[in-house]
Amino acid sequence: MTAYLKLDHIDKIFTRGAATTEVLKDINLTIEKGQYVSIIGHSGCGKSTLLNIIAGLTTATTGGVLLENREVNSPGPDRAVVFQNHSLLPWLTVYENVKLGVDKVFARTKTRAERDAWVMHNLNLVQMAHARDKRPSEISGGMKQRVGIARALAMEPKVLLLDEPFGALDALTRAHLQDSVMALHQKLGNTILMITHDVDEAVLLSDRIVMMTNGPSARIGEVLEVPLARPRKRLELATNTTYLKCRQRVLEFLYERHRFVEAA
């Protein structure tokens, strides 16, 4: 299998004055095209830092990120991010928020009418076309996150980065949105990298689960393949032995071998 996104010996050391903290140590990961990979770990283990490094929002101290064999170290629309707190611009409407990215990415390749159609197409994908003229303050949290996903999708990223995308949502909305993301992945075949701290979410959505050890100097502790056929149905999986085994495996990793140590 060919590597599509490759994390090559990434170390990250934060320096503040004389104090240095090693957050990530020797992270190596290869992701294939079209795969859905989750990164799971306790809070503070540097998952978000890792995602930011891939997105180009922070730079790795050593090592690098290769996308299609080319190093990427600055942010760009080929690695669109869905942020945890949606990060929609409150002064723009739903439509304008999505269009902001579309206008930049397709400035040369699409005409105005095509860009407009593309924005609406992506809003339709997340079922938010009806709210095109609403501002973020006028729609619910789940809807905002849908628009955030549409904004990222509309940039036609090579890799879609999800930073705890459902963390701030209530359980019902979260389940609903997880199903939507699964359907989108099925339909579009994106390569997706998701940060999460929810075991069920990781097992349900991912092809592979990357489990990280506790920080400081967090490493990749274990990578678990989830051999569940797609499309996956939430309810059927509840009794599926493979699902339960995978879930058990992740739980053991998180709560037995790498129990979260409360800072003194």
Which residues contribute to the site for another protein (CB under 8 A)? 55-57, 74-77, 79-81, 83, 85, 87, 89-91, 100-101, 104-105, 127, 130-131, 135-137, 143, 155, 175-176, 179-180, 233-235
Closest separation in Å from C-beta 101 to another protein: 5
CA 97 – CA 126 distance, rounded (Å)? 14
Give whichever of 36 and 83 is closer to another protein, judged by the CB atom: 83
Give CA angle at 136 (170, 117), nearest 5°.
110
Question: Could you give the CA distance from residue 239 to residue 193 in angstroms, rounded to a whole number?
Answer: 26
Q: Cβ 212 to another protein, closest distance in Å?
A: 22
Q: How far is the CB of 77 from another protein (least distance, A)?
A: 6
Of 5 and 224, nearer to another protein (C-beta) is: 5
Please report where in the chains the tokens 């609903």 appear, as a residue. Answer: 176
Pick between residue 121 and residue 219 the one whose CB is nearest to another protein. 121
> Based on CB atoms, which residue is closest to another protein, 32 or 116?
116
CB closer to another protein, 4 vs 83: 83
Min dist. Cβ of residue 232 to another protein (A): 9
181 or 211: whose CB is closer to another protein?
A: 181
Nearest to 214 by CA among 255, 251, 161, 165: 255
**Least CB distance from residue 178 to another protein, whole Å?**
10
Sorted by sequence, the CB contacts under 8 Å of residue 245 that are 6+ apart come out as none
Question: In whole angstroms, what is the distance from residue 47 CA to residue 204 CA?
Answer: 19
Give the CA dihedral 49, 54, 223, 241, nearest 10 degrees: 90
Q: How far is the CB of 222 from another protein (least distance, A)?
A: 29
Q: Which is nearer to another protein, 179 or 222 (CB)?
A: 179
Q: Where are the alpha helices (DSSP H) in the chain?
A: 47-55, 94-105, 112-125, 141-154, 171-188, 199-205, 234-237, 241-252
For residue 229, the minimal CB distance to another protein (Å) is: 15
Q: Which residues, at least 6 apart from 171, have a Cβ–Cβ distance to it below 8 Å?
A: none
In the three-class reduction of DSSP (H, G, I as helix; E, B as strand; rest coil), residue 176 is classed as helix
Cβ atoms of 204 and 178 within 8 Å: the answer is yes
